[in-house]
């Protein structure tokens, strides 16, 4: 029987599952303490803590590396690539650690999977990485040829939800026209057009609505003035955009349960900021509706914050008239990662090499 470890490293936690065959033997959401993340500063300084927390959890499951068949991690921001299963190799880790294509906690997850795979003598895979690129030409342009828009998003969950939505609508994913919104610590809003994501915001680099820990699109002039002020190093400014932006920058927390409790107690600032995020999400969904020329089967919402009735109601206020709304709270990512890894081990799908 195959035993697969699945990792999804995010900004506030590491989601992990241990599969025996098709069944989950154990799973957990291992928190990354907010204060510790701030103290460590650079994202890559979290590697040792994240790895040891994972190993401690595996020890509690009486896990032996001798029983492991493969490790599958959510993908890192690397060069544009096709969808499917990829082997995590040295070239992928080199590009991830270089930050050339972006910086995200899932990069740390890929390195953990790669290192443990080498130590244990088992393959390390990733599936439908965030660098999946199906954008059409119009979506790539900005007003400067040196600054092309790039495809980077929660492709794994977006694609899984797209297939699930298509099934619920009784049609193949290859004929689906939908706008799917993933809302977690980061945020992506994608136009799915007949099997491809033809446009999507790159929240990692400051594109689209603000999110719990990301600034989203900010005025270019203000950002330029900040960068040239001499007060901040590059990494400090980058953390303002990704990691310490969005709700965290305004309210001092990225915990939306806490924010909603503050709203219930009459905190007007918390309400205004939270509803402003919903407003920006609605605007972005409207933009994707234009990309699909108004020919839309559905709007779908997924990710951890799709569990929030308050936030979903605020977003629905702006977009309910566009198309029917479907909700898929949480994430299909662990299951999607496992399915890809299992199919690769069985030889039922090709395993691509990153170059």
Instruction: Give backbone dihedrals phi and psi of 328, rounded to 5 degrees, phi first.
Output: -130, 75
Q: Report d(CA 256, CA 203) in Å as an integer.
A: 18
| Contacts with 334 (C-beta within 8 Å, 6 or more apart), sequence order | 6, 8, 15, 17, 27
pLDDT band with cut points at 50, 70 and 90 for residue 12: confident
Q: Would you state the pLDDT for residue 101?
A: 86
59-65: Cβ within 8 A, 24+ apart: 61/18, 61/25, 61/26, 63/18, 65/116, 65/119, 65/120
User: pLDDT at residue 1 above 80?
Assistant: no
Question: What is the side-by-side strand order in the sheet with 85-87?
Answer: 23-31, 13-20, 3-9, 70-73, 124-127, 85-87, 351-353
* Summary mean pLDDT of the chain: 94
Among 302, 289, 84, 332, smallest CA distance to 198 is for 289
**Percent of the chain having pLDDT more than 90?**
82
Q: Which pairing describes strands 124-127 and 85-87: parallel, antiparallel, or unpaired?
A: antiparallel
Structure tokens at 16: 């992990």
Question: Is residue 167 classed as helix, strand or coil in its secondary structure?
Answer: helix
User: pLDDT at residue 315 above 80?
Assistant: yes
The residue to which tokens 């991690």 are assigned: 73
pLDDT tens digit sequence for 186-229? 899 999 999 999 999 998 788 999 999 999 999 999 999 999 99
User: Which domains are assigned to the chain?
Assistant: 3-132+333-353 (3.30.420.40), 137-323 (3.30.420.40)
Q: What is the mean pLDDT of residues 37-66?
A: 89
Q: Report d(CA 189, CA 227) in Å as an integer.
A: 28
State pTM to two decimals: 0.82
Question: Is residue 121 classed as helix, strand or coil in its secondary structure?
Answer: coil
pLDDT tens digit sequence for 88-142? 999 999 999 998 888 888 999 999 999 999 999 999 999 999 899 999 999 999 9
The residue to which tokens 């609508």 are assigned: 169
CA angle 343, 158, 184 (to 5 degrees): 115
27 CB burial (10 A radius; 0-12, 13-18, 19+): middle
Q: Would you state the pLDDT for residue 270?
A: 98
């Amino acid at each position: 029987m195959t035993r697969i470890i699945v990792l999804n490293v995010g900004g506030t936690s590491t989601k992990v599952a241990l599969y025996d065959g098709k069944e989950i033997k154990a799973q957990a959401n291992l928190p990354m303490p907010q204060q510790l993340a701030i103290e460590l500063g650079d994202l890559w300084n979290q590697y040792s803590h994240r790895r040891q927390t994972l190993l401690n959890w595996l020890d509690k499951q009486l896990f032996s590396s001798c029983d492991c068949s493969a490790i599958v991690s959510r993908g890192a921001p690397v060069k544009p690539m096709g969808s499917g299963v990829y082997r995590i190799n040295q070239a992928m880790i080199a590009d991830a650690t270089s930050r050339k294509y972006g910086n995200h906690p899932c990069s740390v997850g890929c390195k953990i999977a790669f290192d443990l795979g080498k130590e244990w003598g088992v393959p390390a895979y990733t599936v439908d990485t965030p660098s999946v690129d199906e954008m059409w030409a119009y979506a790539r342009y900005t007003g400067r040829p040196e600054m092309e828009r790039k495809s980077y998003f929660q492709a794994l969950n977006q694609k899984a939800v797209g297939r699930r939505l298509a099934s619920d609508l009784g049609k193949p994913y290859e004929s689906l026209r939908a706008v799917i919104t993933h809302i977690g610590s980061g945020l992506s809003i994608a136009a799915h057009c007949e099997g491809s994501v033809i446009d999507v915001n790159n929240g990692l680099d400051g594109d689209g609505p603000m999110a719990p820990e990301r600034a989203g699109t900010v005025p270019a002039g203000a950002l330029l003035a900040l960068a040239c002020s001499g007060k901040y190093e590059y990494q400090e400014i980058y953390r303002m955009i990704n990691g310490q932006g969005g709700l965290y920058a305004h309210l001092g927390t990225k915990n939306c349960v806490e924010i909603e409790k503050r709203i219930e107690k009459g905190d007007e600032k918390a309400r205004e900021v939270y509803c402003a995020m919903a407003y920006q999400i609605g605007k972005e969904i409207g933009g994707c509706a234009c990309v699909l020329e108004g020919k839309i089967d559905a709007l779908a919402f997924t990710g951890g914050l799709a569990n929030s009735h308050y936030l979903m109601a605020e977003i629905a206020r702006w977009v309910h008239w566009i198309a029917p709304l479907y909700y898929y709270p949480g994430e299909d990512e662990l299951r999607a990662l496992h399915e890809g890894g299992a199919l690769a081990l069985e030889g039922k799908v090709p395993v691509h090499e990153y170059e």
